[in-house]
Amino acid sequence: MILKLDSNEYILSHFGMSGSWRISKDKIKEKHTHLLLEGTDKSNSKIFIGYVDPRRFGFMHFTDKAGVDDYIKKHLGATSCQGAFGNAMNNVFYPGTSLRLLGM
């Protein structure tokens, strides 16, 4: 998963075998939450996105746009989300969402 932060930095996330993201209107306090982001949705309501991984098999990289492009070329290759279909898919989940890093 690729998340773009307000700072124009990106988070590259791989879930591993047990990792997942939680999205909530309330602060996520679940055990094994290793990263918590706070943001706003299109209606300017506060949202929280937390990365939960009890077994710690997942990973995250903080990078810039060039790092994202490089990672995709080296590790992911071509997908069905490229071209016209990919452009339509770019804003499927929480379009207009604003995020900032709260803590790790």
Question: What pLDDT digit, counting tens, does each position of 4-22 carry?
Answer: 887 888 888 877 777 888 8
Q: Is the pLDDT of residue 63 over 50?
A: yes
Average pLDDT estimate for 61-74: 87
Average pLDDT estimate for 63-74: 87
Q: Is the pLDDT of residue 68 over 70?
A: yes
Average pLDDT estimate for 48-70: 85
Q: Are 50 and 28 in contact (CB under 8 A)?
A: yes
Nearest to 12 by CA among 27, 24, 1: 1
Residue 102 — pLDDT band, cuts 50, 70, 90? low
Q: Are 21 and 36 in contact (CB under 8 A)?
A: no
- What pLDDT shows up at residue 27? 93
